[in-house]
Amino acid sequence: MKLDAIKTLLNDHNFRLTQERETVLTAFMNADRMLTPAQLHALVKGQQTKVGLTTVYRLLEVLTKVRLATPFLIDGEIFYTFCSEQHHHHFVCLNCHRVKDIYECPAALPANPNFGSIEYHRLDLYGHCPSCDDHEKEGALC
Ligand SMILES: [Zn+2]
Ligand SMILES: [Zn+2]
Ligand SMILES: [Zn+2]
């Protein structure tokens, strides 16, 4: 999804993408791992941008609403990852926090009329990526 399209989408949700906010969004889109709002805030702080933590929270909230971000609850903390609009699942490394997208959709749940109408589903896998697994085998502390 192009930045312009995202801008329009956010505008539709009353979130105007100012220059500062765009910096946060770009940093979020380019991050190679999931981030807590505080981590994302710290990431852009170095780029001489004056963005409050509240704005970071708000951006992540709106992005989640339009499904361009997915939150993960890990050990009581919420991490976010940027998501393209195409339906996918995730593999999350609990050690280095890298997120891999899985485009196979295994969730063929039986249709159950008791559920009502289902709008979407989520399936996320948690574990250790190959490089973190190797470290563990070597007995090294990451
Ligand atoms: Zn995703
Ligand atoms: Zn890892
Ligand atoms: Zn799926």
16-26 pLDDT per residue, tens: 999 989 999 99
- Among the bound ligands, the one closest to the CA of 92: 2
Q: Is residue 91 within 8 Å of 74, Cβ to Cβ?
A: no
Residues 69 and 94 in one domain: no
Residues 79 and 90 in one domain: no
Kindly report the average pLDDT of the chain as a whole number.
89
Residues 30 and 54 in one domain: yes
Residue with tokens 């807590």: 36
Ligand 3 geometric centre to CA of 67 (Å)? 14
Helix (H, G, I), strand (E, B) or coil at 59: helix
Task: Produce one character per residue of 10-48: b if its CB has 16 or more CB atoms within 10 Å, e if not.
Answer: beeeebebeeebbbbbebbbebeebbbbebbbebbeeee
Q: How confident is the model at residue 48 (pLDDT cuts 50, 70, 90)?
A: low
Is 51 or 127 the better-scoring residue by pLDDT? 127
- Among the bound ligands, the one closest to the CA of 118: 3
Ligand 1 geometric centre to CA of 67 (Å)? 9
Q: Is residue 91 within 8 Å of 128, Cβ to Cβ?
A: no
Ligand 3 geometric centre to CA of 101 (Å)? 11
Ligand 2 geometric centre to CA of 127 (Å)? 8
Residues 76 and 92 in one domain: no
Q: How confident is the model at residue 121 (pLDDT cuts 50, 70, 90)?
A: confident
Residues 116 and 61 in one domain: no
Q: How confident is the model at residue 32 (pLDDT cuts 50, 70, 90)?
A: confident
Q: How far apart are CA 75 and CA 106, in angstroms?
A: 26
Ligand 2 geometric centre to CA of 141 (Å)? 12
Average pLDDT over residues 72-90: 93
Whether residue 36 has pLDDT greater than 90: yes
Q: What is the total count of domains within the chain?
A: 2
User: What is the extent of the structural domain holding 55?
Assistant: 1-83
Residues 2 and 47 in one domain: yes
Residues 54 and 97 in one domain: no
Residues 6+ apart with CB under 8 A from 87: 105, 120
Ligand 2 geometric centre to CA of 33 (Å)? 10
Q: Is residue 17 within 8 Å of 69, Cβ to Cβ?
A: no
Percent of the chain with pLDDT over 70: 90
